[in-house]
Amino acid sequence: MRPDVRNPLVEDYLARLRLAAARLPRAQRDDLVADLTAHLDAGAAEAGSEAEIRNLLDAVGDPDQIVAEAMPAPAVVAGSGPSGALALGLGVLALVLAGVGLLIFSIPLAIAVIALGWRARQYARSVAGSAVLATSAFVLGVIALVLPLLLWSVLSSAHSDTPEQQDQRPAEATVPLTPESSVSTTAPG
């Protein structure tokens, strides 16, 4: 086989390797692809048949598994990020505070719950963890923020017609009808 023409089996394998290695950092990806390309080109050049090339590719291993083993370890130790459970607990507290009318405490707490829940979601996704608690906390924070504001708005509009405001309105003019002030409905004639 000519050295400038690569065996189709090797070419297919390297294409799958490049695709799988796309998730690696660029320098590590380039090194891995270059090393395996050189190894496979040398092995394919020495191989006398297509069966030997298949054996070579089987011996090297599956590209996805090679990339998975080459993946760098997460820089963050599991458990060191924000907790969705904490955000969820604070969200419940924000709802309770809103329920008893302490909006001055519940609204800032709800904003903090939204931020903490969002951050816990991002952390859980970065370490391939479950973001269920963090997502629940985020939604609860939004509810704890919006619900008291809606209730406040509804209650303030319902109380806009208080008795004091009704007393301040100008009284409607009423004209008593007496026989002297009655208007004739007959046309002059």
**pTM score, two decimals?**
0.40
Q: At what angle do helices 84-99 and 132-158 cross, to 10 degrees?
A: 20
At 105-133, the pLDDT tens digits run 777 877 877 777 777 777 776 666 666 76
Contact between 18 and 33 (Cβ < 8 Å): yes
For residue 1, is pLDDT > 50?
no
pLDDT (tens digit per residue) in 17-65:
899 888 888 888 899 899 999 988 888 888 888 898 888 888 888 988 8
- Give the whole-angstrom CA distance, residue 27 versus residue 30: 5
Tokens (6 digits) for 153 = 């708005």
CA distance 134 to 122: 9
- CA separation for the pair 67, 179 (Å, rounded): 105
Cβ atoms of 110 and 94 closer than 8 Å? yes
Supply 189's token pair. 């004639």
pLDDT of 186 over the 60 cut: no
